[in-house]
Amino acid sequence: MGTQSRVVENVPKGIYVAGEWRDASGGGGFWVEDPGTSKRLCQVADGQAEDAASALDAAVDAQTEWAATPPRERGEILRRAWQLMTDRVDDLAMLMTLEMGKSLAESRTEVTYAAEFLRWFSEEAVRIEGRYAEAPAGGSRLLTMKQPVGPCLLITPWNFPLAMGTRKIGPAVAAGCTMVVKPAQLTPLSMLQLAELLAEAGLPPGVLNVVPSSSAGKTVGPLMSDRRLRKVSFTGSTPVGKSLMEQAAQNLLRVSMELGGNAPFLVFGDADLDAAVDGAVIAKMRNNGESCVAANRFHVAEDVAEEFAAKLAEQLGAMKVGHGAEEGTQVGPLIDGDQRDKVTELVDDAVGKGATVATGGSAAAGDGYFFTPTVLTEVPESARILSEEVFGPVAPVTTFGSEEQALALANGTEFGLVAYVYTQDLRRALRVAEGLQTGMVGLNTGMVSNAAAPFGGVKASGFGREGGVEGIAEYLSTKYVAVSMG
């Protein structure tokens, strides 16, 4: 059996509840497709509301004992899971490439990045601290302790099938929370494989439960109003995030929201242009452009814009497009036909309004959902691509005159996840970084993601932070104890 069929064959395909793999109630399943061939890979149990309820029952049952498990033990389970992921990077990467499309090299990078969250939070598990203080008026003492929030619902998107999971699961496990995970319908396999791996690393039954489903709203809706649930952490689109916020309000759940982006990439006239082009390729093309931190629009100083666009077009035009599992592929397919159609629509809209195609510009023919890496220049302000998340390998380039204009363009969006800035002037770099309305800034770099850093946005990109020392705080409550010394 080849590696591709073996990794698909080996994935558990059920609902994972209380340490056991079950069929879905009703016995149904849904198909998972390879976006590089548009052919079916396998079927997965189609979780229903009853399955989500059983998963929450299991999480609630496990919560007290799990919270009392020594932090070092929780940390060591995460550390073992990091090791297992690291040992199995090739198989995990192949599975991810098959269900999501990105190149094997990119999948390996994601597996490593995803595993890093487990290692990072294995180290944070033993650093959960409280405070002890004398009351300002003297007499009593003020004691604070951190406790796990309780059972959590973790909902993840398809674009990073493992990393968007581990940056929630890692801190939840470290904090002593139990959880129900709802992976994306398009890419459930990596998460199911991770559940098995975490069990092998020693995670007790009931701490992590996984419910794949083809009807997200119907399946997790009832959980959102279940008073035993204490938190929801969501990564996905802004409209779904808003709807979950409304539901969370009724149950007063703790909420973390990692939502959409529309990242500006600013290149000033004093930038190292070659470095800016290299950074732009990373910020644009990582994950086929299907990343919330993907540079969505390039605003370049007038005097260097032509050269920047020409160099970017040369690099993007030379990238090898193909099935993610093929040797040498740099750009894989988009996730599905809808996504390819949306990218096509945004490019056509821009071109229709006067943009010039410097390279690419259209979907590729044949099986799979491919779109050619594209650079558009002279993109008019009215083009939808400048205000909507494109989620594909398309780089629209526009120009600016002054620093003020650059900042105004960058901030002229409802989103605020990340911005990239290329300049060699330190004072300008800091001024612009301070002025950007985003949760993160890449300064002379096209890559901000790091398990040790707080990832998250402002405005319509959501709130809450994943990774860094901030990441575990999302899963902890502060309890204050007033101590009488009288």
Nearer to ligand NAP, 155 or 350 (CB): 155
- Nearest alpha carbon to residue 359 among 347, 342, 341, 345: 347
Span near ligand NAP by CB under 6 A; candidates 79-87, 255-263, 296-304, 370-378 = 255-263
Looking at the chain, the number of H-run helices and the number of E-run strands are: 14, 22
40 SS3 class: strand
Let me know: does 333 contact 370? Beta carbons within 8 Å: yes
Selected binder of ligand NAP within 157, 165, 368, 416 (CB under 6 A): 157
Considering only 16-24, 51-59, 156-164, 427-435, which stretch makes contact with ligand NAP by CB under 6 A? Answer: 156-164
Place of tokens 């996840």: 417
> Which residue has the CB atom at the shortest distance from ligand NAP?
236
- Looking at the Cβ atoms of 213 and 374, the one nearer to ligand NAP is 213
For 281, phi then psi, to 5°, come to -60, -40
Query: In the bound complex, what is the minimum distance in angstroms from residue 36's beta carbon to ligand NAP?
Result: 18
Catalytic residue among 33, 110, 292, 389: 292
Output 57 or 466, the one with its CB closest to ligand NAP: 466
Exactly one of 96, 154, 292, 410 binds ligand NAP (CB under 6 A); that residue is 292
Closer CB to ligand NAP, 122 or 287, in the complex: 287
Shortest Cβ 413–ligand NAP spacing (Å): 13
Q: How many binding residues for ligand NAP (CB under 6 A)?
A: 29
309 interacts with ligand NAP by CB under 6 A? no
Q: Should residue 190 be labelled a site residue for ligand NAP when binding is judged by CB under 6 A? A: no
Question: Residue 4: CB partners within 8 Å, gap ≥ 6?
Answer: 94, 98, 325
Q: Does 155 bind ligand NAP (CB under 6 A)?
A: yes
Q: Which helix (H) or strand (E) is 334 found in, with range? A: none
Task: Choose, by CB under 6 A, the member of 107, 109, 156, 178 that binds ligand NAP.
Answer: 156
- In the β-sheet with 394-400, what is the strand arrangement from edge to edge? 356-359, 374-377, 394-400, 295-301, 263-267, 418-422, 440-443
* Segment 411 to 430, residues that bind ligand NAP, using CB under 6 A: 417
Side chain identity at 480, as an amino acid letter? Answer: Y
8 Å CB contact between 44 and 188: yes
Q: Which is nearer to ligand NAP, 205 or 222 (CB)?
A: 222
**Backbone phi, psi, residue 439, to 5°:** -80, -20
CA distances from 350 to 334, 355, 359, 398 (A): 20, 5, 14, 12
Q: Considering only residues 205-244, where is the footprint of ligand NAP by CB under 6 A?
A: 216-217, 220, 235-237, 240, 243-244
Among 119, 182, 286, 459, binds ligand NAP (CB under 6 A): 182
| 33 vs 389 by CB, closer to ligand NAP | 389
Decide: is 280 part of the binding site for ligand NAP (CB under 6 A). no
Question: H helices of 358-416, where?
Answer: 403-411
- Taking residue 26's Cβ as centre, other Cβ atoms within 10 Å add up to 12
Shortest distance, CB of residue 32 to ligand NAP, whole angstroms? 11
Which of 99, 258, 290, 389 is an active site residue?
A: 258
Determine, following the binding rule CB under 6 A, whether residue 369 of this chain makes contact with ligand NAP.
Answer: no
Report, in Å, the least distance between residue 222 CB and ligand NAP.
11
Write the CB contacts of 407 (distance below 8 Å, at least 6 apart in sequence).
432, 435, 436
389 binds ligand NAP (CB under 6 A): yes
Does 448 help bind ligand NAP (rule: CB under 6 A)?
Answer: no
> Measured from the CB atom, is 377 or 461 closer to ligand NAP?
461
Q: What backbone torsions phi and psi does residue 319 show, to the nearest 5 degrees?
A: -75, 140
Looking at the DSSP assignment, which residues form a beta bridge with residue 359? 375
385 touches ligand NAP by CB under 6 A? no
Check binding of 184 to ligand NAP (CB under 6 A): yes
Q: 383 Cβ partners below 8 Å, 6+ apart? A: 346, 349, 350, 353, 355, 396
| Nearest-angstrom CA–CA distance, 179 and 153 | 6
Q: How far apart are CA 272 and CA 282, in angstroms?
A: 16
Q: Which is nearer to ligand NAP, 154 or 300 (CB)?
A: 154
Among 66, 158, 371, 400, binds ligand NAP (CB under 6 A): 158
DSSP string for 200-212: HTTPPTTTEEE--
Among positions 15, 94, 189, 259, the unique one binding ligand NAP when judged by CB under 6 A? 259
Q: Establish if 14 lies at the interface with ligand NAP (CB under 6 A).
A: no
Is position 337 an interface residue for ligand NAP (rule: CB under 6 A)? no
**What's the rounded Cα separation, in Å, for the pair 12 and 200?**
13
Are the beta carbons of 190 and 96 closer than 8 angstroms? yes
Taking only Cα atoms into account, the Rg of the chain, rounded to an integer number of angstroms, comes to 23
Residue 50 bears catalytic tag: no
Of 206 and 260, which has the nearer Cβ to ligand NAP? Answer: 260
The contact pattern for ligand NAP, residues 36-75, with x = CB under 6 A and - = no contact, is ----------------------------------------
Any idea which residues carry the catalytic annotation? 258, 292
Which residues lie near ligand NAP (CB under 6 A)? Answer: 155-160, 164, 182, 184-186, 216-217, 220, 235-237, 240, 243-244, 258-261, 292, 389, 417, 457, 461
